[in-house]
Amino acid sequence: MFDLHMPEPATGLSPEDVVLTGDRPTGPLHLGHLAGSLAARVAGQDICPHTVLVADLQALTDHAHDVDRVGAAVAEVMVDYAAVGLDPAKVRFCLQSDVPELAEITVLLLNLVSLERILRNPTVKAEVGQKGDRARNAGFAVYPASQAADILGFAATAVPVGRDQAPMLELASHLADQLAIRGCRLPVPRAVFPEGGSGRLPGFDSRKASKTLNNAIALGASDADIAAAVRRMVSDPSRRSSSDPGDPEKPVAFAYLRAFDPDRTGLADLEAAYRRGGVGDGDVKARAERVIRDLLGPIRERRAAAAGDRAALRDVLREGTASARDTAQQALDEIRACFGLSRRSA
């Protein structure tokens, strides 16, 4: 049941789909994750099988200098999942580093893509620009292949992700095609993007919302954190006075309202009034603050309950991972066969 205080996203899924999604555990999840993929998972878990991957190996590709942070974030991300309403009875949770089959699939897939193609990935390039030295190792450069291995390893047909992940899905479907030529029967996966707008929630400084840039609102944010973040949301600097006509695409507060305001008519009215002139940015921010508080209040409560029983979440992750290993082993057998590796020394 979808009971987040925000518009229910269209999932683009059918009951025949098999979904794999995941997150890098490098810190608490934030509103960008909620808008970009978590809400779609909460809606989708009632439609078809979901596996959610806690991608700690991928997290290491730019956090090898801070492995403690990744270790701690694994438990934290599980708490975030429970807090938004992902239900362990419906969703299989999996810890990437405990499924070595995925690493073997990665090594095999690397033989099916040219170095140029893998280094051309625009998302990876942007991330290297943003993260600097810690993203300059070879593991980071080829993480799209590891992500493709995740997707193929779970025989996923659909991957709900933010738009920044489009190049990853292009590579995964390219690799699935390459395997199919070699007789592999794994499905060719498709990306499922969030609907509406750019699909990407900006940080309060209007850059991409990210933990690294420290411009995102964490799911566990307190009311005081929310107020401070909303205060920092940038508006349109060229607009002189609240009586001037304005462009609702410009203030960051409107982007948050478009993502989360459950009252769509009220929001449309406010946008129209803003366009005509006479609506102050303070009013828009006040509404954004209220909407975010209403959204995060219940999440914070469920967060506290989940954080009180971490042992239960550890069990959920262990059991999910064991089941996921079986699935990944089957995919690995199929992929090994494409390379003539079935039982070579048996």
* 36 secondary structure, DSSP code: I
CB of residue 261 vs ligand TRP: minimum separation in angstroms? Answer: 25
Q: Does residue 161 bind ligand TRP (CB under 6 A)? A: yes
Q: Nearer to ligand TRP by C-beta: 58 or 215?
A: 58
Dist CA 113 CA 147 (whole Å): 14
Dist CA 68 CA 21 (whole Å): 23
Q: Does residue 167 bind ligand TRP (CB under 6 A)? A: no
Q: Does residue 62 bind ligand TRP (CB under 6 A)? A: no
CB of residue 147 vs ligand TRP: minimum separation in angstroms? Answer: 4
Characterize 317-344 residue by residue with b for buried, 16 or more Cβ atoms within 10 angstroms of its Cβ, and e for exposed: beebbeebbebbeebbebbbbbeeeeee
Q: Nearer to ligand TRP by C-beta: 162 or 248?
A: 162
Q: Is the CA virtual torsion 203, 208, 211, 214 positive or negative?
A: negative
Q: Does residue 127 bind ligand TRP (CB under 6 A)? A: no
- The closest of 133, 131, 112 to 123, measured between CA atoms, is 131
| Single residue of 11, 61, 121, 147 touching ligand TRP by CB under 6 A | 147
Dist CA 116 CA 332 (whole Å): 25
* 251 secondary structure, DSSP code: S
CB of residue 130 vs ligand TRP: minimum separation in angstroms? Answer: 13
Q: Nearer to ligand TRP by C-beta: 198 or 243?
A: 198
Dist CA 185 CA 180 (whole Å): 6
Which whole-number Å values give the CA distances from 119 to 137, 145, 251, in the listed order?
12, 11, 35
Footprint of ligand TRP on residues 3-22 (CB under 6 A)?
A: 20-22
| Single residue of 56, 150, 261, 334 touching ligand TRP by CB under 6 A | 150
CB of residue 26 vs ligand TRP: minimum separation in angstroms? Answer: 9
Q: Nearer to ligand TRP by C-beta: 20 or 270?
A: 20
Q: With contacts defined by CB under 6 A, how many residues of the chain interact with ligand TRP?
A: 13
| Single residue of 159, 229, 267, 299 touching ligand TRP by CB under 6 A | 159
Q: Nearer to ligand TRP by C-beta: 24 or 50?
A: 24
CB of residue 237 vs ligand TRP: minimum separation in angstroms? Answer: 31
Q: Tokens 């999840």, residue?
A: 29
- The closest of 81, 96, 92 to 38, measured between CA atoms, is 81
Q: Are 39 and 6 in contact (CB under 8 A)?
A: yes
What the block records as the tokens of 164 is 């920044």
CB of residue 50 vs ligand TRP: minimum separation in angstroms? Answer: 11
Indicate the burial class of 38 (C-beta count within 10 angstroms; 0-12, 13-18, 19 or more). buried
Q: Nearer to ligand TRP by C-beta: 6 or 145?
A: 145
What the block records as the tokens of 185 is 């029967």
Q: Does residue 51 bind ligand TRP (CB under 6 A)? A: no
Q: Does residue 173 bind ligand TRP (CB under 6 A)? A: no
Q: Nearer to ligand TRP by C-beta: 285 or 325?
A: 325
| Single residue of 53, 201, 299, 316 touching ligand TRP by CB under 6 A | 53
Which residues of the shown chain bind ligand TRP in the complex (CB under 6 A)?
Answer: 20-24, 53, 55, 58, 147, 150-151, 159, 161
